[in-house]
Amino acid sequence: MGGWRMEVIKVGLYLAIPLGVLTMSNMPQYLERNHEAQRLSVYEQTGVDMSPGDPETLDELRAKFDKMPKICNLHRINRSAATKKAASEAQSH
């Protein structure tokens, strides 16, 4: 088949992919961004702040996430409002 070189490449990939994912998921900046996104999402849906003692205010978080690309703000899409808007537009036509 591929010989020993192919086996070395396969073992390298088998180890590199899980280790890469584990490393990326434990990086502090990703964990912090995910926590902030969750906090903002919960507040926008329920009106309750998950971390009231956090030094960064919700307005600062909202401004920070508004500056980010849209792909980073997928958690903020209010699907029920978008559905209602689409339904009202369909009825008006």
| Straight-line distance from the first to the last Cα atom of the chain, in angstroms, rounded to the nearest whole number | 64
Q: What are phi and psi of 77, to 5 degrees?
A: -70, 120
47: left (phi over 0), alpha (psi -120 to 50) or beta: left
Give the structural domain span for 65.
Answer: 3-92
Number of domains in the chain: 1
- The pLDDT of residue 53 is 85
Tens digits of per-residue pLDDT, 29-59?
A: 888 888 888 888 888 888 888 888 888 888 8
Name the amino acid, one letter, at 46.
T
Residue among 41, 45, 77, 81 at smallest CA distance from 61 = 41
pTM: 0.54
- The pLDDT of residue 92 is 67
